[in-house]
Amino acid sequence: MAIEARAPAKVNLTLHVTGQRVDGYHLLDSLVLFADLGDRLRVERGPGLRLTVAGPLAAGVPTDDSNSILRAARLLGAEDLHFTLTKVLPTAAGIGGGTSDAAAALRAVAELSGLDLPEDVSPLGADVPVCLLARAARMEGIGEKVTPVGGLPALFAVLANPGAAVSTPAVFRRLASKTNPPMPETLPEFATARDLAAWLATQRNDLQAPAIAEQPVIAEVLKDLSALPGQLLSRMSGSGATCFALFETCAAAEAAAQALHRDRPGWWVVPCALS
């Protein structure tokens, strides 16, 4: 018997850094959506805990105990499993590649082995709780408070990454202010994607400026995305370097992605739907 699980790309439409605890963890307030594309994970019975990585972006992905998938399996106390990861998302890219993989592993192992999900998944990363939900949500605290968000309009995007890995700790070290305003306590209702984008423009990703200081190429990505016909908003996701441009229709996003790929053939550029 084999179980397959999807590990979709996580997109932070907003990311407000609202404080820092005495233990160093940062407090966040983020509106998170998930793309209809991502890594794929297969798990089946086999001797030991083993991981095989394939796919277009498999190069450089560790297969030892440092990989989040094997760490997730060990957190569950699982043994004798063989994982196969098809890697299509870039790593260290601000779209939850490793944490989404870990969440997929938790779901798959729990289903295969009949185990309950652990109450505390924080050892695997702050984004794992929201990646376990894998749909539109508000993420608060250090990531442990996840509230589903419903009623959002259909939303499409172009994701672009220039191939530059960004260190999240390095970005946080460059953050000048760590006590910034959160989103409103109650999020507005949005009739259209244009309404949502207009509201998002009044919100922030507090890590965008320090990430640009760490990797200036991010500013080029944002400039190119903001110039795409029909884009409603362009912003960086997470701690970068992946950025997104929002669109009202699938056709507009696909056309924009094709145009950007022609101009930037060395970048990772994909259209997607967000939900």
Which residue, 123, 141, 159, sits at the end of a domain?
141
What pLDDT digit, counting tens, does each position of 22-40 carry? Answer: 999 999 999 999 999 999 9
Total tally of structural domains belonging to the chain: 2
- Residue 111 above 90 pLDDT? yes
Instruction: Tell me, yes or no, whether 130 and 156 share the same domain.
Output: no
Instruction: Tell me, yes or no, whether 43 and 21 share the same domain.
Output: yes
Of 10, 29, 87, 101, catalytic: 10
Which residue, 118, 141, 164, sits at the end of a domain?
141
Instruction: Tell me, yes or no, whether 101 and 32 share the same domain.
Output: yes
pTM of the model: 0.96
Instruction: Tell me, yes or no, whether 113 and 154 share the same domain.
Output: no
User: How do 137-141 and 81-86 pair as beta strands?
Assistant: unpaired
- Residue 1 above 90 pLDDT? no
List the beta bridge partners of residue 273.
156
Q: In the chain, which ranges are E strands?
A: 2-12, 16-20, 26-45, 49-54, 81-86, 137-141, 145-148, 155-161, 233-236, 243-247, 268-274
CATH of the domain at 228: 3.30.70.890
10 is catalytic: yes
127 is catalytic: yes
Q: Which domain holds residue 255?
A: 150-274
At residue 215 the predicted structure's pLDDT band, cuts being 50, 70 and 90, is very high
**Percent over 70 (pLDDT), the chain:** 100
- Sign of the CA dihedral running 92, 33, 103, 105: negative
Which residue, 111, 141, 171, sits at the end of a domain?
141
Separation CA 167–CA 100 (nearest Å): 17
Separation CA 212–CA 181 (nearest Å): 21
Of 39, 101, 127, 224, catalytic: 127
